[in-house]
Every structure is written in structure tokens, then in C-alpha cells.
Amino acid sequence: MKMFNRNTIFKVFTLFLFIGLLLTIIGCKKVEDIPYEGESMSYELPVLNYTYDSLAPYIDAETMEIHHTKHHQSYTNNLNAALELHPELQIPIEELLADPSLIPSDIRTTIINNGGGYFNHALYFSILMINNGETPTGNLGLAIDIAFNSFDDFKEAFTTAAATRFGSGWAWLIVTNEGLKIVSTANQDTPLDQGTPILNIDVWEHAYYLNYQNRRADYIEAFFHVINWDKVAELYEDSL
């Protein structure tokens, strides 16, 4: 007795062919995502998922547009120009910033400044949305309570870090092995060597001067109205 007739063999063959195709589609990156030999890594200005006027009155539309289309675009362009000098450098920007010794010496300062500018603004613009006074809940809310006792204590510590950063820089909420921490950095430096950033505030004057002039404290207070806590919670979960 024949175990398999021709029809059964055809069905089994078709099934394996289908599974193979499915695994190929799932497992493969798009061809254009894979750098070919000699091609430098490059970055694009992230597209915002909100309009420039949607954070008003806390952050005005003109500030948002200039900040995104001029400042962030400039950091992105400068980063790409530096990377073009070293097409062999196929390391994601987060890893380079976490360990600058990986960066060739002739472009190290440029990458720290402009790669930092690219990364820092990408995070900043991604966590903005009017929150109508909502505060973090769930695992993030719990982690904030554990690290800082309460949301109000967290807000006070974050505000102090942002207000006391001398000159231009950033304040951050980062995830470390010991839990959440608040840090601040100068210029476009990142805290990637200390932990995973999930929230940051840009305290360069270009982030607030049109609306708040020299009143950084007012901008920081307004910033708490436009933190997208759902996004921050998502980044927190991803970091674990």
C-alpha cells in the first residue's frame, strides 16, 4: 500500500513552501534597511506625530517648528556628515554615545555634540503631548514612588535638576540597575553611560526663549503639562 499519494505529497510540499516564505518575510529586514559595504549609517529627522501648535499654550508653535526643523535637523545633518567620513563605523548612535572610545578620534567631538543633539531631541519630541494633569500610573508610577517617595517629590527633584543645570543642557529620568534616577547633563551630552533615558527636558534657551525669555522656571513648570506619560511608561517597560 502506498503511504502517500501524489496529492498528499503536493499538499505537504505546498505547506512547507508557505511556512518557508512566511519565516523569510518575518525574519528578513527590508533590503533598504541593510547597509551595503561602504555605505555609511545615516539618520533621518524623526517625524512628529502631532502638530507644532498642539502643545500651546505651554510650548508655542513657532518654538516647536524652529526647534524641530532647524535645530534638530541641523544636528541630524551634521551627524550624517561626520558618519560619511567613516562608513566602516556601523554602530548605532546610542552605543557610540554610551562609549565614545568607540568613535574615531577625528569625529569624536562632532559625534558627541551632534549625535547627542540628534538622540536627545528625538527622545524629547517623542514624549510630548498635553496630559491634562495626568500623572504616571502602573509600573512607572510605582517605580517613581519607590525611587522618590511620591510624584510630587519626583517633580521637585526633576525641576531642581533642570533649573540648576548651568548654561545649556538637559535634565533626565533614567532607568538604572538601582532603579530610577534623575541626572542632568551639559550641552548635548547624554546619560547613556549611566542608564536608559526615558524622559528628558531640553533647557537650552532655544527650547523656550521665544515664549518665556529668561524664565526657565516657568518653562519647566509648563513642561509638566506636556509630558506624555503613556509614552514614558512604554519606554520604561521597554527598558526592563
Q: Which stretches of the chain bind Fe ion, using CB under 5 A?
A: 202, 204, 207
For the CB of residue 201, give the shortest distance to Fe ion in the complex, in Å. Answer: 10
| Strand ranges across the sheet with 179-186 | 179-186, 169-176, 196-202
Quick check: 162 and 201 in contact, CB under 8 A? yes
For the CB of residue 162, give the shortest distance to Fe ion in the complex, in Å. Answer: 13
> Closer CB to Fe ion, residue 204 or residue 236?
204
> Closer CB to Fe ion, residue 148 or residue 172?
172
Gyration radius of the chain over CA positions: 23
> Closer CB to Fe ion, residue 63 or residue 228?
63
Q: Is the peptide bond before 57 cis (omega within 30 degrees of 0)?
A: yes
For the CB of residue 71, give the shortest distance to Fe ion in the complex, in Å. Answer: 5
> Closer CB to Fe ion, residue 204 or residue 229?
204
149 dihedral zone (left: phi>0; alpha: psi -120 to 50; beta): left
Termini Cα distance of the chain: 58
For the CB of residue 205, give the shortest distance to Fe ion in the complex, in Å. Answer: 9
